[in-house]
Amino acid sequence: MGEVSGAAAPLVIAVDGGGSKTDAVGLDLDGTVVASARGTTSSPHLIGTPEAVALVDGLIADILDQTGGRPIAQTNVYLSGLDLPAEVNAFRAGIAGLAWADAVVDNDLFALLRAGTNAPDAVAVVCGTGINCVGVRADGEVVRYPSLGMISGDWGGGWHLGEQALWHAARAVDGRGPATSLVDAIPAVYGLGTVREVIEGLHFERIPNADLSLISPAVFDAARAGDAVAAALVDHQADEIVTFAATTLRRLGLLQRAVPVVLGGGVIGSRDERLLDAVAKGLAERAPLAYIELVAAAPILGAGLLALEAAGADAAALERARDELGARQSALPLAQPAS
């Protein structure tokens, strides 16, 4: 693609929004990053569709302000919480009339997938604030999941790990369950003294319910220190990641092929040895030809590559964008208050 320069050069915009933050970047058609902006979560599940639209629109306005109001060549938006067709359609309806109304809109798993691989047959599992999976096949077949938590069969992610850890700690305190070091670790997360104080803080909304995800790093710490309850939670999380990947490969008929399984999100990004070893072992048993691609870069990399590809960018532009966006490590903690 021929390079266009100057203030009026068309701009490519990419947005990736997860359970804790939303990143937006503006790129030249040659793959150079020329602007960036960050906001809190844009998941419609957490803040509602109108609020998600407003947040993304504000980030895009910021990008346009930074670049002098250049014309938009392509916009791709990938958000957590756009899991069902009705949710995608509602978001698209919400952006009607905006400057970026013709954007490609889909779930943020597609950005993670592209960040990890451009293989035509692939699976991606995200385990961050929540957990979800998507699989694609060269002929266009796609496997995806509602990702609505326990009601849609999901288990895990930072929020659920926190909830489960508190459940066990509460039962340890009153004698219904086995002893666990989480009894001391969980209150410390919130600067409190007892599990009872945490429970009451959540009940009376002094602690936001979303802040249950702040507990998840303590679960991994406790497991590393030998706590049996915490270790069981980590092992369960690993099994759920493997189950998502292996099930998706089976549904796509790809168990007998060498297919990448892209892993990302804050929980996976903790690089916990027990978790990752268990995932690798489980995947080797259930999908022995699959291989893991662990994404260290922030998913905005994948969103940027997809947006550039949709704009017709050439291989050199994609490589430049990969170099620039790939340097932005996915340094998110396992959870943030806004998740």
Mean predicted lDDT score pLDDT of the chain: 93
**Could you give the C-alpha distances from 48 to 51, 140, 332, in angstroms and in order?**
5, 30, 23
Q: Provide φ and ψ at 319, rounded to 5°.
A: -65, -40
What type of residue sits at position 241?
I
Residue 7 has pLDDT above 70, yes or no: no
CA distance 159 to 294: 21
Q: Is the dihedral of CA 324, 295, 1, 65 positive or negative?
A: negative
pLDDT tier, 333 (very low <50, low <70, confident <90, very high otherwise): very low
Q: pLDDT for 250-261, tens place per residue?
A: 999 999 999 999
Residue 5 has pLDDT above 70, yes or no: no
CATH class for the domain made up of 11-108+299-326: alpha beta
Least confident of 149-158, 311-320, 328-337: 328-337
Domain locations in the chain?
Answer: 11-108+299-326, 117-296
Taking CA 275 as the corner, what is the angle to CA 272 and CA 276, rounded to the nearest 5 degrees? 85
CATH class for the domain made up of 117-296: alpha beta
Residue 271 has pLDDT above 50, yes or no: yes
Segment 82-89 shows an average pLDDT of: 95
Residue 296 has pLDDT above 90, yes or no: no
Q: What is the pLDDT of residue 188?
A: 98
- Yes or no: say if 8 and 39 are a contact pair by the CB < 8 Å rule: no
CA distance 53 to 79: 10
Residue 26 has pLDDT above 50, yes or no: yes
Half-sphere exposure of 86 (CA within 13 A, CB side): 2
Segment 103-132 shows an average pLDDT of: 96
Q: What is the pLDDT of residue 104?
A: 98
Percent of the chain with pLDDT over 70: 94
Q: What is the pLDDT of residue 334?
A: 29
- Yes or no: say if 130 and 247 are a contact pair by the CB < 8 Å rule: no
What are the residues facing 307 on neighbouring strands? none
Residue 176 has pLDDT above 80, yes or no: yes
What type of residue sits at position 214?
L
Residue 18 has pLDDT above 90, yes or no: no
Q: What is the pLDDT of residue 329?
A: 53
CA distance 150 to 138: 31
Q: pLDDT for 208-237, tens place per residue?
A: 999 999 999 999 999 999 999 999 999 999
Q: What is the pLDDT of residue 144?
A: 95
Given the DSSP bridges, would you call strands 11-17 and 22-27 parallel, antiparallel or unpaired? antiparallel
Q: pLDDT for 122-161, tens place per residue?
A: 999 999 989 999 999 999 999 999 999 999 999 999 999 9
Residue 339 has pLDDT above 90, yes or no: no
Helix axes 300-310, 315-326, angle to 10 degrees: 160
Closest to 124 in 3D by CA, of 309, 306, 328, 333:
306
